[in-house]
Structure formats: structure tokens, C-alpha cells
Structure 1
Amino acid sequence: MNLCNFLKIGVALCFLSFQLNAQNDMTTSRQLTLKQQNIVAIAALTAQGELQTLKPALNAGLQAGLTINEIKEIMVHLYAYCGFPRSIRGLQTLMEVLDERKAKGIEDELGADASPINDERSKYDRGKANLEELVGRQLNEPQTGYAAFAPIIEVFLKEHLFAAIFDRDVLSFTERELVTISVISAIGGAEPMLKSHLAICLNLGLSPQQLIEFVSIIKSTVGKKEAKSAHLVLNEILSSR
């Protein structure tokens, strides 16, 4: 083999290697991370109250690198969408899992706690700003629908959910939205809210492929019925973009 042909083969192999690496990078970018996958499973199972199935999911989440405080924050966040009873039972189940792991000699990482809030704005203004970041637009139009019908719930949403909870930096906005769509999908019957939050996920940078993967996790952890409903809502959003 002459030198010219040898160099051609070398260049071809380098180019093929580059293509394969690029394809691998694209595949990775289209997938939820292992931590994100476990966030979906933990949130959905907690929302449904499937505590015996939640236990192995919690173990898997800890093994995947979720810290104790991150999982605690998942439980705290989801109470706003499915209530204190589910949230507290999830926390109690996490305590049991941690005790069992400690008895086996497993020391799990506690992780960072929420940073202090140093913001002089009112909770309402902080919540409004957070919500505007989530939806990607300013919200200055007059209230309509349920917010006009019962104005106090709009205040509670801004001050408590989108300020007091979303301001806590233990979880990112994207991780909190994954918790939210997991809970809403698991409890069912709230498709308009699911549609809004799936749109927020896209605005935060999650891809359609990642949200399709989210639906597949709902199918494997919660059930086909819930996954079908979520898939229909996702298709509606994607078809309108």
C-alpha cells in the first residue's frame, strides 16, 4: 500500500470516528439524564401513593446520584400538586429507605440545602418573575378564567408556589417542572395544566425527544392509561409549534 492510499484510509477513519462521536453526542443530548429519569419515576410513584414500588425507585435514585436533599425537595415540591398526605408519605418512605441503606453500611450524600433568599421584592413579585421566566413572556394582561373568578388562588400561586417553592435552589427550574408533569400525569384529570407545564418544559430547553422519553417512563412506572393521556397532550403541543 503506497503512502497516498494509507493517508486516505487514515483520513476516512478519522472522519468516521468523528461522525460516530457526533451521533453519540446527539443521542445523549436527546435523552433525559439518569438523574432526570429517576426524578420522574420518584415523583410519579409518590403522587400515586405506590409506596412499595417507590422504595426501589428511591434506591435507584440514590444510586444514580440524587442527593438526600434533592429527593426531599422532590417530595416537598409535589405537595403543591397532589397534597400534603402524599408528600408526607413519600418523605416517610424515604426515611425508611435511608435507614435500610444505612444498616447495610451505605452512606448517601446529604447534598446542599436551599440558599438563603436575599431579595427585597415581595413574594408576589418574585413569584410573578419566576413564572414569567418559566413561560418565556411577560404576564401583564388582566386576569381571566379561574384567576379572575377566585383571585386569591392566583395570589397563593404567585406567593407560595412560584416564590416560596420555586425560589429554593435545591432543584433547578427544569427539575421542578419534571416533578410537576410527573405528578400531574400520575394523578390524571388535569390535562389543561399538563399542557401548560409541558410547554414550559419545552421553553426551558427540554427537547420533544426527552418529553417522549418522559411519557415512556410514566408508562413503565405508573401505567398505560396515564401515559396515553400524557402522550395525547404532548402530541397536541408539538403539532401546534
Structure 2
Amino acid sequence: MIDANFARYRSAGFAGAALALGIGLAMPSAHATQQIVGPQSMSSPPAISETLTARQQSIPLIASFMAASDMPRLNVALNDALDAGLSINEAKEVLVQLYAYAGFPRSLNALGELKKVVDARAQRGIQDVTGPESTSQVPIGEALIAAGKDTQTRISGGPVQGPLFDFAPVINQFLQAHLFGDIFARNNLDWQSRELATVGALAATPEAEAQLRSHMRASMRVGLSAAQLRQLAQVLDEHGDAQAGARASLALTQALAQLAGR
């Protein structure tokens, strides 16, 4: 059952989306389906579930409204996410990560909206959980690229390669060193939450279907179930934007077919 407090989202409009950047620009050399274990905010990854928690449901909604620059609905989503147990630092981390997919302007504007929400809630006497900062020691130089390449390979199910990266190899270096090295190595947000955020942002982004399909597969590799991803699409459809929900649903169907070898 989807949390009832998300019903407020349908009252506002939906804006345009941003250029996406992430895995999916080229296919990995293999489609592994096993669950992977990576740096998490917990000692072990959560068990596979058939439903998303209210906290998890809030993450793709935040991401989709951020990617669409829909500040009124983002404000509501952030309030509901904090009510559902997302910590302030987790919300910050979601919005910081998404600059790699939606751009710095949207990320900065969304972080400004989060600050407004947190300040307003504090004035009303609401004591939100701050949450831990990242304590991971991020390597530098060649060690950073190696660590990011390992994370990218594990999440993607195989080495990410192809004609596009042969044409512009520097973009994959940036992906490996920064997105999968600097950002995904931070341990105050688990990989499931990071993928929920990425899928939400990409679903709100027209013409990012290839990346969305890739991140659907990645979401299952980090332990999210197909049932949870169907629920994500339903949440976007009913409480976000119907087009985003439709993109997510189609991408999941296609990802499952690819993983099944069809």
C-alpha cells in the first residue's frame, strides 16, 4: 500500500527534465543478475523485499521533482520524506548525487529548497534526525579511478565499454573517478537508496531511456526486487508524473526481458 500522505503531489504541475549522465551509454560485456555487496550505510545490505518502505518511496519522488525543477512538489516531497524517516543528511546526499544526472543548477536549487524545508520545520518545533556524515576514506589519483571502475563494473554487471567510450574515453574516466569513485564510495547512503534516486531522476528525464533501463538492472544487482521497482513506477505514476511512471514501467519490463535473455 502506498503511503497516503503522497496524495498531495497530484495538485501541482510537472516541468521539463534534464540531460542524464550515467551508466547505460554503453552495454556492459555481461548481464549478471546476482546481488552485489558494496559500501553501504549499514554493516550489511538490506534483505530483498517485495515492497518499498515509506522512506524508500519518498526517494524517487524527490529525485523526479528535482530533475524536473518542480520546486513546489519537491517541497512537499521533502517534507514527507523527513516525516517518513529520511534523515537530513540522507536527503542532502540524494540531491548532491543527482547533480551528476540532472546538473549543478538543479542540484543547487534543490539543496536550497531542502534548507528552506529544514528551517521551516525547525521553526515549527519539528526535530528531524540529522543523520551521520560520510566517514569513507575516498582514495585519490589512480587509486580513485581503480576503485570507481570496480564499483562501476559491479553495479553494471560487467565492464562498461563500447563505441561511445572509444570515441570519448574521458567521459568514462569521469564516471569512474567521480560518480562511482567520489560519490558512490560515500557511506552515508546505501546503494539501494542511490539507485532509487537515480531511477527517479532518469524516469523524469525524456530521452534517457537507455540509462533508465541500465539503472533498472543495476537496482536489481544492489538488492532491489522487481516487485519493488514495479511499486516505484506505480508511486511515480500516482503521486509524481504519469509519463515518468510509464517510462519506469517500460524500462523495467525491458530490463527484465534483457536479463532473461529475450
Asked whether 1:54 is paired with 2:79, we answer no
The match for 1:101 is 121
Distance (whole Å) between structure 1 residues aligned to residue 208 and residue 228 of structure 2: 21
Give the root-mean-square deviation of aligned CA atoms. Answer: 1.7
Asked whether 1:129 is paired with 2:129, we answer no
**Structure 2 regions of 5+ residues with no counterpart?**
1-47
Give deviations 1:29-54, integer Å, cap 9, x for gaps: 31011111011111111111111111
Deviation at 1:81, TM superposition (A): 0.1
Distance (whole Å) between structure 2 residues aligned to residue 236 and residue 144 of structure 1: 20
Deviation at 1:122, TM superposition (A): 1.4
TM-score (norm 2): 0.76
Distance (whole Å) between structure 2 residues aligned to residue 173 and residue 103 of structure 1: 33
Distance (whole Å) between structure 2 residues aligned to residue 52 and residue 187 of structure 1: 18
Deviation at 1:133, TM superposition (A): 2.1
**Structure 1 regions of 5+ residues with no counterpart?**
1-27
Contact 1:186 / 1:222 at 8 angstroms: preserved in 2?
A: no
Q: Sort the Cα spacing of 1:119 and 1:153 in 2 relative to 1 into closer, same or farther, 3 A.
A: closer
Contact 1:42 / 1:54 at 8 angstroms: preserved in 2?
A: yes
Give the residue type in structure 2 aligned to 1:133: R
The match for 2:189 is 171
Distance (whole Å) between structure 1 residues aligned to residue 138 and residue 243 of structure 2: 44
Contact 1:186 / 1:218 at 8 angstroms: preserved in 2?
A: no
Q: Sort the Cα spacing of 1:118 and 1:86 in 2 relative to 1 into closer, same or farther, 3 A.
A: closer
Distance (whole Å) between structure 1 residues aligned to residue 255 and residue 212 of structure 2: 10
The match for 1:148 is 166
Identity %: 36
Structure number having the greater helix percentage:
1
Q: Sort the Cα spacing of 1:90 and 1:118 in 2 relative to 1 into closer, same or farther, 3 A.
A: closer
Aligned length, in residue pairs: 211
Distance (whole Å) between structure 1 residues aligned to residue 101 and residue 248 of structure 2: 16
Distance (whole Å) between structure 1 residues aligned to residue 129 and residue 223 of structure 2: 28
The match for 1:40 is 60
Structure of larger gyration radius: 1
TM-score (norm 1): 0.83
Deviation at 1:118, TM superposition (A): 5.8
Give deviations 1:71-123, integer Å, cap 9, x for gaps: 00000000000001110111111111111111111121111001141657611
**Which piece of structure 1 moves more, 126-135 or 75-84?**
126-135
Structure having greater relative contact order (Cα 8 Å, sep ≥ 6): 2
Deviation at 1:175, TM superposition (A): 0.9
